[in-house]
Structure 1
């Protein structure tokens, strides 16, 4: 191929050697990725021996679907004497993109299966339900709901920490039931408050921003402890988790953990309407079928309230009736 008197080859010979078209070689040359060594007297492109190896590298990078700007960066780094780091970064970036694309395809496959397999009469409603969710799914609607639900004066750090616990992360390889649960969850939060900002628990309205940070930090710790108890199959009971739960409220309210405070707290929390539907659907999203349900902040809260009830040795009254299966109240609590 490079047997001419000047050691160069024509564009046609290079293309034939590489197994590509002349048009492809010309394209990479015009983009500045494949330099030509010179032009013949007739104006034809001629290439040096190094062009064959460079063209092979370009084809390999493009075969991995790396975009041209990334290919250019790798070639520039190679020309400068090192390409290992930039190549690694480019491959990592492409792997991330492919992972997102695969997750989207898996989600769409499960969603299409839900529509295909449901009874014909239910198909239009099922299509609207799952079709309202992007693929891969976005949790933006859930974040908007919780930002409306949380007190407006709550510190940003506390809000971020709460959102990380309260918003479920959809699985990359979902089962149809998980797709359906997430679609229902999206519909639930979208319809419940509509971004009106009215969805705030009354039980937290008596404390200021500083106390709210104390409250939610303490609640997060109590929920973690309660979650551990729940995973072990323990029934609601007094102990470290319950003490931390009560202390979080007592510290926020500037008082002490006494029997009288516990009774008042139990009644106050029981009087807040419920959003049990949210937590039930969240459990379906994050838990594999047939496995023990993963604790959520909502289920941990219920476990702790039941533990408080058991600790007091008396019912909390009619307030428990405010738990609803539909979660249609305009001012939901846990």
Structure 2
């Protein structure tokens, strides 16, 4: 067991990125993720690496685009309205098949909204953060330790598939403090970056980074190529946790991030009332863990309850996965309000009919 240190979530994000070989960080301050940039501003120069506070979120993501094109590991971080501003650049990066890591510490919206934790960026992240036909892997850790581990994984996945990767946490994960261990890990096998625009070297021609295809046949072929890659990601990179799912479960909760931790408390409270609850916790929301529902569909009497800090954005993916085989209900709080175990339990009792 390695040494654990007490760290704020945002600072742990920065340290995990540094230990993962991040060479360039470009960002812009926005609550509740500003400490990520502050940590990188302090630590990156000590290692002779690049930290730059851009003049805007738009500038920051385009700096990531440029740095990623040279093949170095790079990262940006923001919160909900800032990710909206980065969306065009993220689409360019995905189209140009460049690896990078994008951190989103979510706050309440829409608009400027508020600075309290929320999960209302689910659609933005999973249905294409920007224009065109594309996806990007999206991880949703539920603790600072898992966030640290996933950031290290995210850099590898970005390099393996030549894609931007998003890691999303709500504002609570960014601001809370927990013990964290920076584990020694074996990096996955990373292909040589023969595509990088980092000088001609021994090549006969220069590498060119581009997302513009004026010939429609070429653009269609490029889209088909991207979606072959997305099929590989869907096959290989789905991650989820099944918790307390037994053969005779009354109801299965579905939740991610901080909300999933609250749901584990609900499971304990429900047990005292004789109600058997399980939990599906997506760790990737794209690709969405549809197989988790196939595995559990015959184990739940009353179906599934999606618990979110949004107006029910994950419900769509749950219903697509369930395919009408069982009911899908929803309970959520929004605008920065965090659901309590007692509130969720009240909804559970409404569905299953009280004490058993």
- TM norm structure 1: 0.22
Between Structure 1 and Structure 2, whose CA radius of gyration is higher?
Answer: 1
Structure showing the higher strand proportion among its residues: 2
Higher relative contact order (CA 8 A, sep 6+): 2
